[in-house]
Amino acid sequence: MRLIIKKTSDEASKWAANHIAQKINSFNNKPFTLGLPTGSTPLQTYDELIKLNKKGFVSFQNVTTFNMDEYVGLSDKCEQSYHYFMYHNFFDHIDIKKQNIHILNGMAENLEKECENYEKAIKDAGGIRLFLGGVGEDGHIAFNEPFTSLKSRTHVQPLTQDTIRVNSRFFSGDQSKVPTKALTVGVQTVMDSDEVLILAFGKNKAKALYHSLEEGISHKWTLSAVQMHENAVIVCDEDAASLLNKETTDYFLDIEN
Ligand code: GLP
C-alpha cells in the first residue's frame, strides 16, 4: 500500500487528480473505467480534473464511470441526490459521454434488482480500473457502514444515526430530511478494481485512518479492507494522518522519497 501525506488537502487533491489523469492517459484512448465518490472530500480533485480536461491534458471521451452510491428515495433533480452532485460538480464540466455515466437509481421500484444490474454492468464494462473513494468518520467506504461484510457487493444499506447526523449538513442540518437508506457498491466491489485510491482530509478523518491502517483488517472499519488490496493508495493531508504512529508515517515518507 502507498500512503501519500501532503501538507494540505489542496496539494493532496492536485496529486490525486494528476494521478488519475496519468492513468487515463496511459490507456492511450482505450476504454478506461473509473469508480467515483461524492462528498466534500473529492470536490477539489474534481475541480483539478476539470481544469486538466479544459487545458487538454486529459480527455474523458473514452472513460466510463460508476458512482459508488446513491440515497434511496431522492430523485436526480433533488440537490441532495448524488446524481445532482455528480453532474453539478463534475460531469457537466468535462467531455464525458452521458451514456458512459452510471449512477445507482435510488428511485428504482425493485432496489435489489437495481443492485444486481449494477454489478452486472460493472462486469460487462470489464471491471473497474481505478476506484476513487473517500472515507466516513467511522471508516466507511462508499456507504458500507461498520460491520458490513468485507465480501459485500452492491446492496441496499440502512444508514447509521452517526452517518445521518454527519450527512445532515447537506440537508440544512435537519436529520429528519436525510434518507435512512442508500444503495451502495459493496466493499468487495471496490476491492475488485485494479487500483483503489482513497482521499482522507481533516482531523475528523484521523481516527478512521488510524484504525484502518494501524490495526488489523476489521469489518468495524470497512476502509481497512484496503490492506488486502495489491494496489491501494491513500492520499491524505497532515491532519488526517495526525493520529498515525510516527514510525508509520516515517516509513511511508521514506518509501515515497
Ligand atoms: C458519505 C459517502 C461516502 C463519503 C463520505 C464522506 O457517507 N457515501 O462515499 O466518503 O460521505 O464524505 P465527506 O467527503 O463529505 O467527508
Ligand 1 pocket member 186 (CB < 6 A): no
| Most distant pair of Cα atoms in the chain: their distance | 52
Per-residue pLDDT of the chain (257 residues; tens, 9 = 90+): 999 999 999 999 999 999 999 999 999 989 999 999 999 999 999 999 999 999 999 999 999 999 999 999 999 999 999 999 999 999 999 999 999 999 999 999 999 999 999 999 999 999 999 999 999 999 999 999 999 999 999 999 999 999 999 999 999 999 999 999 999 999 999 999 999 999 999 999 999 999 999 999 999 999 999 999 999 999 999 999 999 999 999 999 999 98
Amino acid type, 250: D
Pocket mutation for ligand 1, best pick of 140, 170, 171, 203 (most atoms within 8 Å of C-beta): 140
pLDDT, tens digit, 9 for 90 and up, residues 21-37: 999 999 998 999 999 99
Cα-trace Rg, the chain: 17
Burial class (CB in 10 A: 0-12, 13-18, 19+), 93: middle
Backbone dihedral region of 253: left (phi > 0), alpha (psi from -120 to 50 degrees) or beta? alpha
C-alpha cell at 71: 440515497
pLDDT, tens digit, 9 for 90 and up, residues 215-252: 999 999 999 999 999 999 999 999 999 999 999 999 99
Distance 22 CA to ligand 1 centre (A): 25
Point out the ligand 1 atom lying closest to the alpha carbon of residue 143. Answer: 8
Ligand 1 pocket member 198 (CB < 6 A): no
pTM above 0.95, yes or no: yes
CA dihedral angle for residue 60, residue 22, residue 237, residue 130, rounded to 10 degrees:
60
Ligand 1 pocket member 149 (CB < 6 A): no
Across the beta sheet with 69-71, the strand order is 69-71, 181-184, 155-158
Instruction: Give the length of the chain.
Output: 257
Residue 140 catalytic? yes
Pocket mutation for ligand 1, best pick of 43, 74, 143, 223 (most atoms within 8 Å of C-beta): 143
Residue 114 catalytic? no
pLDDT, tens digit, 9 for 90 and up, residues 77-86: 999 999 999 9
C-alpha cell at 88: 453539478
